[in-house]
Amino acid sequence: MAAATLLLALAVVTLGSGHVEAFDPNPLQDFCVADPTSKDNENKLHENGVACKDPAAVVAEDFLFGGLDKPGVTTSKRFGFTANQVQIPGLNTLGEAHVRLDVAPAAETALVLEGSVYFGFVSSYPDNKLYAKVLRKGDVCAVPQGLVHFLHNNGTAPATLYASLSSQNPGLVLLGNSLFAGALPDDLVAKTLLTDQHTVQTIKANFRRS
């Protein structure tokens, strides 16, 4: 049973790694401004699952977005907000997105704009080595693709960071939510974390209330 559990865990990690290490392909033309509201999808060029806007109808505003200068509401929005191909249709096929992170003092990071944060990532198995450092205003850091990483506001004032991501629509995997907010069986989670089912159920209850 222990061997089966380990095999399942390794299979999940392998599948997850195969997903997060994928990258956006290079564009085939100058640009493909996303046009998700198009009613003529059958007769239009598609890139990344959305129709391309007629180049003759493309305007400068398709490549612009205003709002990253304004702080997010950390009490209701945990991760700041993202400017991806939804907010900037011209980002479609360009393989990038931009994020502003406003971290309340209780809590992909690139540039620290205000405050300080404790930032780090963990290398892959079998080393599982922690690389961490306190970042302050003006510091820039990089996150290797696909690795578990974190940031924590270690100051007394809100911290603001600006991140650039190598995907136009990056996904987000939260370890706690993946383990305790989903439908994984309690006994499997307990064996994976070397604990008991009662502890797992208690933690799951906390996630259901959050």
170-180 tens-digit pLDDT: 777 888 999 99
Answer yes or no: do 101 and 141 share one domain: yes
Mean pLDDT of all residues in 183-187: 94
Token pair in block for residue 197 = 């089912």
Token pair in block for residue 142 = 């990089």
- Please, is 96 exposed, middle or buried when counting C-beta atoms within 10 Å of its C-beta (0-12, 13-18, 19+)? middle
Token pair in block for residue 207 = 């996630």
Q: How far apart are CA 181 and CA 174, in angstroms?
A: 10
Longest dimension (CA), the chain: 62
Answer yes or no: do 157 and 197 share one domain: no
pLDDT digits (tens, 9 = 90+) for 47-78: 566 788 888 888 988 887 776 666 665 554 45
Using the predicted structure, report yes or no on whether residue 13 has a pLDDT greater than 60. Answer: no
Answer yes or no: do 161 and 66 share one domain: yes
Q: For residues 108 and 140, is the Cβ–Cβ distance under 8 A?
A: no
DSSP state of 60: G
Answer yes or no: do 167 and 178 share one domain: no
108 in a labelled binding site: yes
Q: Provide CB contacts within 8 A for 108, sequence distance 6+.
A: 99, 143, 149, 163, 165, 170
Answer yes or no: do 115 and 186 share one domain: no
47 in a labelled binding site: no
> Structurally, how many domains does the chain consist of?
2
Q: What is the pTM of this model?
A: 0.61
Answer yes or no: do 85 and 15 share one domain: yes
Answer yes or no: do 141 and 191 share one domain: no
Using the predicted structure, report yes or no on whether residue 8 has a pLDDT greater than 80. Answer: no
Q: For residues 158 and 115, is the Cβ–Cβ distance under 8 A?
A: yes
